[in-house]
């Protein structure tokens, strides 16, 4: 399973090409699609991204809804219909489609933000502000994590 860590800011050229961080490319190496899958975040002006294996896991999760239920229809219409496969070029770059760049307010720079099993692409200033607010909320709530036992899936 891919694991995405860290935050990297890369330049976006006028054609929408941006280099996916090498560590992120390495995390999804060997999958059936050589690139990333991206779709607009439901919660933020950002893009949620991962490898094709991550999308397969999301598909299995959506499969938990009854096939013709409103929940299934709404989830697939929102998630899969907006997802785009972005292939790596020879330099490890992808082309961000205009509609995805507009959703995330990305112009000339993009922050690649590791979020564990997925990563997000943000406008750098927007992520910095979000991250500061998130840290403040965690401190106010006093939230902590329990460490998983060795060998436990998490």
pTM of the predicted model as reported, rounded to 2 decimal places:
0.88
Summarize pLDDT for 2-18 with one digit per residue, the tens.
Answer: 899 999 999 999 999 99
Give 120-130 pLDDT, tens digit per residue.
999 999 999 99
For residue 127, what pLDDT is reported?
A: 98
Q: Is 120 exposed, middle or buried (0-12, 13-18, 19+ CB in 10 A)?
A: buried
Tokens 């013709």, located at residue: 68
Please give the Cα distance from 29 to 133 (Å, whole number).
33
Domain 7-141: what homologous superfamily? Transcriptional regulator MraZ domain (3.40.1550.20)
Q: What are the C-alpha distances in Å from 91 to residues 13, 17, 20? A: 14, 10, 9
Q: Domain residue spans in the chain?
A: 7-141
* 83-103 confidence digits (pLDDT tens): 999 999 999 999 999 999 999
Give yes or no for a contact between 15 and 75, defined as CB atoms under 8 angstroms apart: no
């Amino acid at each position: 399973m891919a694991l995405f860590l860290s935050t990297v800011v890369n330049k976006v050229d006028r054609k929408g090409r941006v280099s996916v961080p090498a560590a992120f490319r390495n995390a999804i190496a060997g999958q059936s699609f050589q690139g990333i899958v991206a779709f607009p975040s439901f919660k933020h002006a950002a893009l949620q991204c991962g490898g094709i294996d991550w999308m397969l896991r999301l598909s299995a999760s959506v499969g938990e809804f009854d096939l013709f239920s409103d929940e299934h229809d709404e989830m697939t219409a929102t998630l899969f219909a907006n997802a785009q496969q972005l292939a790596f070029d020879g330099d490890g770059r992808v082309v961000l489609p205009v509609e995805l760049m507009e959703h995330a307010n990305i112009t000339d720079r993009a922050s690649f933000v590791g979020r564990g099993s997925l990563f997000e692409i943000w406008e750098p200033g927007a992520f910095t502000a979000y991250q500061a607010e998130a840290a403040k909320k965690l401190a106010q709530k006093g939230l902590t994590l329990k460490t998983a036992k060795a060998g436990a899936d998490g």
